[in-house]
Amino acid sequence: MNKTTHRLYVWTMVLIVIVVTIYLSYSGYSYYQTSLEERFYHPRHDWFKPSGLYGHGLGIIGTFMILFGVSIYILRKRYNFLSKLIRLKHLLEFHIFLCTMGPILILFHTAFKFGGIVSVAFWSMVAVVLSGVIGRFIYIQIPRTIEGRELSLQEVQKMKSDPLELLKGQNQVPDDLEQLINTATDSSGEQKGIVAKYLIDHKRVKEIGRFLKTTGLVKSKRKIIIKAVRQEISLSNRIARLQTMQKLFKYWHVAHLPFALIMLIIVVIHVVVTLAFGYKWIF
């Protein structure tokens, strides 16, 4: 999957989530904004209620999406299932899509009515989704191979390059420019927050860009150098916080997995109790 195809793949999933959410909100707006006491008298109550054809269907599809998303990712990660067909990185993105879309469908399945053990499952699901977003952020901070294998510190350090090499062939590289690039691409010793570091890096890249304009380099060459500087800054930042992110990723599993298990266990209990009360598969 090349870069363009990958972007199309990701944005297609993002658009599906947005469009489906808007559609579900719009189609059931009049019902969902009706108070719980008056919903029984709503003309489409039998359609939108959790046990109705529409509501029941959303619950089944949403649950299936979550179970499938979790299962296929675990099989790929732990047992190399489909390893020849799809990279772990791309499957993780599909896992995130399914486990975002599934909870949204389940949210509309509940018709925004929470109570009893179902509320525990719902808030566990919310915790899983939110922790998944945090986990995704931590995951992308750790450099990996194209197959998704986590790189060691030594392997990452070997990836470093020198953007100044691109200026070879010039009569002379100004000392100020060399110092700017070296300062921008060296994150060692800097103890700043992620947002503060991002703003500082952005400012430094702008300064380098302005300085390059004074060297007489053509625009295409300047763009190549700026791109190399950005890549080197990103790599330096990842190296600087690699060990921290690796520890955070281990701690993240401690939070993400229990919430996921709680949610799945309560979903099973919910289905069993529903069947015990006489509700049946509506399809």
Query: pTM value?
Result: 0.71
pLDDT at 145: 59
Residue 197 sits at φ, ψ, to 5 deg, of: -65, -40
Give the pLDDT of residue 166.
Answer: 65
The domain locations on the chain are: 3-32+45-151+243-276, 162-241
Cα 208 → chain centroid: 31
Residues of the chain with confidence (pLDDT) below 70: 145-153, 156-157, 159-175, 187-192, 279-283
Q: 235-270, pLDDT tens digit by residue?
A: 787 777 777 787 888 888 777 888 888 888 888 888
133 in Cβ contact with 107 (< 8 Å): no
- Token pair of 87 as six digits: 């990279």
pLDDT score for 31: 94
Residues 137, 129: Cα–Cα separation, whole Å: 13
